[in-house]
Chain A
Amino acid sequence: MFEGYTASEIGAIFAMQGFAGLSLFCVFLLMALGLAIIFGQMQVINMAHGEFLTIGAYSTYLMSVVAEKHAPWLMDYYFFLAIALGFVVAFAIGWLVEFSLIRFLYKRPLDTLLATWGLSLIMQQGFRSMFGAREVSPTLPEWLLGSWQLSDTIEIPINGLLVVGVTAVLTLAVFFLLFRSRWGLKVRATTQNRVMAEAAGINTARVDRNTFALGCGIAGVAGAVFTTIASTGPTSGSLYIVDTFLVVVFGGAASLFGTIASAFSIAQAQSILEFFINGSMAKVITLAIVIGILMLRPEGLFASRVRK
């Protein structure tokens, strides 16, 4: 398919295709990061994860409406506030959900699946009642919209850069929190041995609540960022749920490194296949390869070697 093109054109396409793969990787990682914490660390199957993404998206929308009406001078920068708001709102709702629902179900992980499915129905209808059935579009600052002309032929999307940037910051933050902070130590201790952790004076109930809320908060950030590349509607979040679970499971549930590796490989496979064959078949083949590998390595790419 490359006959009749100059070397520089082909080089440009490869560069842009590389960036497309990179931003898809970041999208997958953003989607999956919150779930990796909730599912990987707590074994809670949160089917409402997509709806927490939607919370972030609607927070951005609300913020943009408020900024447009009351503080037009803020329009250029409100987006960063919106990301923070997405985190806070999703965190708060996640906290409430854990308190009123999830904490009763830790002994029954498959039941969390059913309960959170019910929760996702309620949340979807809640969005519909509050914001209407139609999709909304937050007014994004002008600087976020265009592309960055690197050379004559290479154009890099700014919103892609934003996704990459936020993903990098968020991933680093999560790593720091989990592996370099005192709180992270408590989380890991609780995951590995709840009884011992309690004996050591850790309030495991509180750790659980904050961990779940953190996972939801991260989903909120992801949702806020996704408004730059995707839709904001009552059912937008449910589009992501299958991919998200697959990324987390493929990576090895309890391993954050695994989640990153799996997001990277799935994104690259899909992005390259989409370029050389068509979209629908690319999706089918990617999913099939992932399932094939999962059959060979049922615990995912990076299984944590835990002796039970």
Chain B
Amino acid sequence: MRRHIHLRWLALAAALALAGGATAADYPTAEVNTTGLAVTDDAVTVGILHSVTGTMAISESGSVEAEKLAIKQINDMGGVLGRKIEIIQEDGASDWPTFAEKARKLLVNDKVAAVMGCWTSASRKAVLPVFEKENGMLYYPTFYEGLEQSKNVIYTGQEATQQILAGLDWVAKEKGAKTFYLIGSDYIWPRTSNKIARKHIENVLGGKVVGEEYYPLGHTNFGSLINKIKLKKPDVIYSIVVGGSNVSWYKQLKAAGITSDKWTLLTISVTEDELLGIGGENAEGFYAAMKYFQSLDNENNKKFVAAFKEMWGDDSVIGDVTQAAYLGPWLWKLAVEKAGSFDIDKIAVASNGIEFTGAPEGYVRIHDSNHHLWSKTRIGRIKKDGQFDVIYESDLVEPNPFPEGYQ
């Protein structure tokens, strides 16, 4: 029945009947909410906690849009256990203590039943103790460095090994790559990811890392680095540059003659969102390893993209994280329905093994024990218009946030 979730958007009333006609009367508030969450007879409140101001607003606004879309669609279908979802949105303002403060407000004051939110690792690390202490449930959308697992978080993005290993395997096989130059912005995600990449290159692929470098966040001049790359002539430039630096990095690569006709560049930090700022023409022909691209050719995704554009305008683009953010409310809904309760403890357990076939990225399943998602890794080639040609798709990859031999 759940396999055709998207069909229900079309025939609302019929779908309601199909879904078992879950009305609030079937689930008395006193039974489904034993811990005093903001659940009434006809409504349930969830929180959205992203930065809409400050430097991270660039990245996080897409997630907010996706979450609001998912919640609207769920409400159109009749809500969760017959209750409409109401939203309290808070601004993390790109500032980690603010995230912690707002998270506490959402959990303690507003008693929200779940929070969709956070983007950077730093913001997640700041709110994690709050969620564990106040026993909340966070749906975290970003691909991230792993090394974390919590009863109170569902990680809807990929952890590092999922994203990295399949991409490196592909580039080694298809391009015969032997030498790699690893580049990243200087913080935990790029450093941890490059560490995993280096182990995989050296121990599994038998390749060689000829350079590994980090630049401060916001760095805008890569002239010297580009010269070093030209000196070392790596088979693959492996790039995890993020934020505003990204734009400078690709524009300067192109200007220095490092283009896809002579060089291979593989990145795990450029989605359609970033390409808006970089400009497709500046990164054309380079490769990205992600679990989702807007151009994915399947029914779920076509409907999702159409609905997204209808709600947020034809100019919108949808990147990997935006899609992962869209999964949050749906996975929460499925967990609540499976548990027959809004209680955090029950959802935390019920989430294990949940399957969601309506995902734009295709079938996903929450792991049986670690709260991460099984997902496919895909390779996209950047096109001039800022979209990707999807040229490779892996099998479902098991999430492994604490990878043995890669630490």
Contact = CB atoms under 8 A, between A and B. Distances in A.
Query: In this complex, which of B221, B226, B273 has the most chain A Cβ atoms within 10 angstroms of its Cβ?
Result: B221
A233 B277 contact: yes
A274 interface: yes
Contacts of A27: 220-221
B154 interface: no
Interface stretch (A40-48, A180-188, A223-231, A247-255): A223-231
A228 B256 CA distance: 12
Interface string B272-301: 011011110110000000000000000000
Nearest to A23: B223
- Of all A-B residue pairs in the complex, the 5 with the closest CB atoms, nearest first, are A135-B277, A20-B223, A231-B247, A157-B255, A279-B215
A157 B244 contact: no
B214 A20 contact: no
Contacts of A118: none
A227 to B, nearest CB: 9
A280 B186 contact: yes
Contacts of B230: 13, 16
Contacts of B225: 274, 279
B57 to A, nearest CB: 4
Interface string B194-221: 0000000000000000000111101111
Given A137-B247, A146-B257, 13 more contacts: A5-B231, A9-B231, A16-B256, A20-B221, A145-B282, A147-B255, A228-B255, A231-B245, A275-B228, A278-B214, A279-B214, A279-B225, A280-B216
B5 interface: no
A231 B277 contact: yes
A272 to B, nearest CB: 8
B400 to A, nearest CB: 29
Interface in B212-266: 213-216, 218-221, 223-228, 230-231, 244-248, 251-252, 254-257
B257 to A, nearest CB: 4
Contacts of B34: none
Interface of B: 52-55, 57-58, 60-62, 186, 213-216, 218-221, 223-228, 230-231, 244-248, 251-252, 254-257, 273-274, 276-279, 281-282
B299 to A, nearest CB: 28
A280 B218 CA distance: 11
Contacts of B228: 275
A159 B216 contact: no
A135 B58 contact: yes
A6 to B, nearest CB: 12
Contact of A232 (B54, B55, B277): B277
B254 A146 contact: yes
Contacts of B278: 137
A145 B255 CA distance: 6
A137 B214 contact: no
A202 interface: no
A231 B274 CA distance: 10
A13 B227 contact: yes
Given A146-B255, A228-B251, A235 B244 contact: yes
Interface string A281-296: 0110000000000000
Given A20-B227, A137-B277, A275-B227, A229 B252 contact: yes
29 contacts: A1-B231, A13-B227, A16-B230, A20-B221, A21-B223, A134-B61, A134-B62, A137-B277, A137-B278, A137-B279, A146-B254, A146-B255, A147-B257, A157-B252, A157-B255, A159-B255, A160-B223, A231-B220, A231-B246, A231-B277, A239-B218, A239-B220, A239-B244, A274-B223, A274-B224, A279-B213, A279-B225, A280-B214, A280-B216
A275 B261 CA distance: 25
Given A228-B251, A229-B220, A230-B220, A136 B246 contact: no
Contacts of A17: 223-224, 227
Interface string A256-288: 000000000000001110110011101100000
A191 interface: no
A295 to B, nearest CB: 23
A158 B256 CA distance: 8
A205 to B, nearest CB: 36
Interface in A114-160: 125, 128, 132-140, 145-147, 149, 155, 157-160
Interface string A65-87: 00000000000000000000000
Contacts of A137: 247, 276-279, 282
Contacts of B220: 27, 229-231, 239-240
A26 to B, nearest CB: 11
B257 A280 contact: no
A234 interface: yes
